[in-house]
Chains A and B, each alone.
Chain A
Amino acid sequence: MEHYSDEKLLDLFQNSDNRNYAFNLLVKKYQERLYWHIRRMVTDHEDTNDLMQEVFVKVWIALPDFRGDSKLFTWLYRIATNETLSFLKKKKRWDFLPWNDVENVMAKNLENDSGFSGTQIQHKLQKALIRLPEKQRVVFHLRYYDEMKYEEMSKILDTSVGALKASYHHAVKKVEDQLKNT
């Protein structure tokens, strides 16, 4: 499938005759990247699917007012990240569970998830990641899996490059410790 540039997609979207078509292309262009970004955070497919739909409905509503102050890519990641962090916060509150127990539930779900097909070390890695604080986990995922530049991450997470580097460094060390001691 042909991928249009973000500028072209936004131009198409501004024309009301092409709005649905342009939005469809935008979804197709970014769906996989956002899916993996969310899925790695929440681990469960059904939760990821709900969040993906929420994210793109919000994008549909807010896109007419998108002025291009940030890149479309950054803006989409920011919405997806905020939705995901907010979901995890609510999940913790609704389940009336302390965070340690939420981690255990997520780790348990991972074991029974038919959509998880990793090796033993991948399994251990995911369990170690679940134990990281949510924001540190986002930083780890964006850098480790997506190899994203800190400058881009800084725009998505509204955090300084220095703080992100430190956060990634701490996250890597914690994961390493977890892997070595389990």
Chain B
Amino acid sequence: MTEKSNNTYRDTDAKKELKDISPYLSQIEISNPFRPPEGYFDAFAQNVQSRIEKNKKPEKSLTEWFTLPRLALVTASLTLLIAAGYFFMAEKTDPAVNGFADEIFFDQYFEWYTDYRNHELLDIISDEQSDSHIGQWLSISMIDDEALMDYLLYYEHYFSQELSILFPID
């Protein structure tokens, strides 16, 4: 079964529409001013296949993922979170600082933090894991803020579980 053309995607009224919107622009000949290098399309399919072969590498196991710098980063982040939580709770017990101003501060902080996570972490995750399935999924899919937050919350839970195995609290 062969397919000779893709005219089903073409709108024969496109030129007429252009003439209606801009008679001036419709008088300019529509031509393609760009040129690819000689023989580019002849070799392209082979180049893609080579690239795919090169990309075929075993997926990282969990123990490989937990390299020393990553482990240190996760530990430092958790320590900071615990410390922040401790000070937050300590502050809350002081009636002098447990006022409206603090509520505004924390509202603004969480608003900024949520915004930061939504916009910056998506790129970091996509870049960090560009070879993994989740990286591919993130870059292909039209991910929204809610889905990203679900993803981050899942990983927060996942890390805390893994760390409790690595550092059991007796």
Residues of A within 8 A of B11 (CB): 147-150
CB of A135 closer than 8 Å to a CB of B: no
Task: Pick the contact of A180: B15, B24, B51, B55 (CB < 8 A).
Answer: B24
CB of B10 closer than 8 Å to a CB of A: yes
Q: Is the CB of B41 within 8 A of A35?
A: yes
Q: Is the CB of B15 within 8 A of A58?
A: no
Q: Is the CB of B51 within 8 A of A43?
A: no
Please give the number of chain B residues whose Cβ is less than 8 angstroms from any Cβ of chain A in the complex. 42
Q: Is the CB of B2 within 8 A of A116?
A: no
Residues of B within 8 A of A39 (CB): 34, 36
Total A-B Cβ pairs within 8 A: 127
Contacts A28-B45, A56-B48, A144-B30 given; indicate if A3 touches B37 (C-beta within 8 A): no
Q: Mark A1-43, 1 if CB is under 8 A from B, else 0.
A: 0111111100000000000100110011001100110011001
- The interface residues of chain B, by DSSP majority, are classed as helix
Q: Is the CB of B51 within 8 A of A57?
A: yes
A56 to B28, CA, bound (A): 34
Q: Is the CB of A176 within 8 A of B9?
A: no
Q: Is the CB of A147 within 8 A of B52?
A: no
Residues of A within 8 A of B17 (CB): 143
A137 to chain B, nearest CB (A): 15
Contacts A79-B140, A144-B18, A172-B21 given; indicate if A8 touches B1 (C-beta within 8 A): yes
Q: Mark A76-104, 1 if CB is under 8 A from B, else 0.
A: 00010011001000100000000000000
Q: Is the CB of B36 within 8 A of A24?
A: no
A144 to B133, CA, bound (A): 36
Residues of B within 8 A of A61 (CB): 133, 136
CB of B142 closer than 8 Å to a CB of A: yes
- The interface residues of chain A, by DSSP majority, are classed as helix
A168 to B37, CA, bound (A): 31
Contacts A4-B3, A5-B3, A8-B1 given; indicate if A40 touches B28 (C-beta within 8 A): no
Q: Is the CB of B142 within 8 A of A82?
A: yes
A159 to chain B, nearest CB (A): 11
A148 to B40, CA, bound (A): 25
Residues of A within 8 A of B31 (CB): 118, 122
A61 to B12, CA, bound (A): 35
Residues of A within 8 A of B4 (CB): 3
CB of A139 closer than 8 Å to a CB of B: no
CB of B14 closer than 8 Å to a CB of A: yes
Q: Is the CB of B21 within 8 A of A169?
A: yes
Further 7 A-B residue pairs, CB within 8 A, beyond A5-B1, A149-B10: A45-B34, A45-B36, A82-B140, A116-B33, A117-B34, A145-B30, A176-B25
Interface residues of A (CB under 8 A from B): 2-8, 20, 23-24, 27-28, 31-32, 35-36, 39-40, 43, 45, 49, 52-53, 56-58, 60-62, 73, 79, 82-83, 86, 90, 115-119, 121-123, 125-126, 143-150, 152, 158, 168-169, 172-173, 175-176, 179-180
Return the 5 tightest CB-CB contacts between A and B, nearest first. A118-B33, A147-B14, A27-B45, A122-B33, A5-B3
Jot down 5 A-B pairs with beta carbons below 8 A, ordered by A.
A3-B3, A5-B3, A52-B48, A117-B35, A143-B17
